[in-house]
């Protein structure tokens, strides 16, 4: 399987991903799964500016990830799959893309959210999605960069 990392980060592509996760994982492809971004060429182009030319960037809707991953695999690429919410990660998993680990890097604060780690705030929907993924056998870790110890998410807390 060409997936080297599945990451939830509401910022999607940004410096932390490009400068730490890409070299750490040896990825040469960033696959961004986001239904809103697919229809916004301007925001896609802004994100692509931050990525070195040697790294292929692909954008797709949540329902298209399985098909795009097949193409990534055929090309022999090593991909980081980025999505904006834990609910998106669950939808991708339910859509047939299997992964054994999920990295949660950043979810911004909003009213009603609870801080689970610095820069990671969960709403009720996040707890539910992560709980479901955990029970499906996915190990969920909150970790901003590969150099941090990270915190494993306990679905019972």
CATH of the domain at 29: 3.40.35.10
d(CA 73, CA 78): 8
Give the chain's domain count: 1
Q: Which of 17-26, 84-93, 98-107, 117-126 has the lowest mean pLDDT?
A: 117-126
Instruction: Name the band, by pLDDT with cuts 50, 70 and 90, for residue 116.
Output: confident
Note if 14 is an active site residue: yes
Q: What is the pLDDT of residue 24?
A: 96
Q: Is the pLDDT of residue 154 over 90?
A: no
Q: Is the pLDDT of residue 2 over 90?
A: no
Residue 107's Cβ-count burial label (10 Å; 0-12, 13-18, 19+) is: buried
Instruction: Name the band, by pLDDT with cuts 50, 70 and 90, for residue 152.
Output: confident
Among 14, 24, 131, 135, the one annotated catalytic? 14
Answer positive or negative: Cα dihedral of 109, 123, 9, 47. Answer: negative
Q: Looking at the domain assignment, is residue 157 inside a domain?
A: no
Structural domain range at position 93 = 3-152
Task: Decide: 56 and 29 in contact? Cβ < 8 Å.
Answer: yes
Q: What is the pLDDT of residue 155?
A: 61
* End-to-end Cα separation, the chain, in angstroms: 32
Residues 79-106 have a mean pLDDT of 96
Q: Looking at the domain assignment, is residue 12 inside a domain?
A: yes
Instruction: Name the band, by pLDDT with cuts 50, 70 and 90, for residue 52.
Output: very high
Instruction: Give, for 139, the enclosing helix (H) or strand (E).
Output: strand 139-142
Instruction: Name the band, by pLDDT with cuts 50, 70 and 90, for residue 150.
Output: confident
Residues 9-37 have a mean pLDDT of 95
Residues 98-122 have a mean pLDDT of 91
Q: What is the pLDDT of residue 156?
A: 61
Q: What is the pLDDT of residue 130?
A: 94
Question: What pTM was computed for the model?
Answer: 0.94
Q: What is the pLDDT of residue 48?
A: 93
Strand 139-142 relative to strand 29-33, pairing: unpaired
């Amino acid at each position: 399987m060409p997936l080297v990392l599945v990451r939830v980060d509401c910022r999607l592509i940004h410096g932390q991903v490009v400068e730490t996760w890409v070299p750490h994982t040896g990825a040469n492809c960033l696959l961004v799964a986001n239904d809103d971004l697919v229809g916004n060429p301007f925001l896609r182009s802004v994100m692509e500016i931050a990525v070195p030319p040697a790294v292929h960037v692909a954008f797709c809707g949540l329902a298209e990830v399985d098909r795009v991953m097949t193409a990534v695999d055929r090309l022999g690429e090593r991909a980081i799959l980025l999505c904006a919410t834990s609910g998106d990660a669950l939808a991708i998993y339910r859509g047939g893309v299997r992964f054994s680990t999920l990295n949660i890097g950043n979810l911004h604060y909003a009213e009603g959210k609870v801080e689970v780690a610095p820069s990671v705030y969960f709403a009720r929907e996040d707890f539910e999605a992560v709980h479901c993924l955990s029970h499906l056998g996915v190990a969920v870790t909150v970790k901003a960069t590969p150099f941090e110890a990270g915190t494993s998410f306990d679905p019972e807390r």
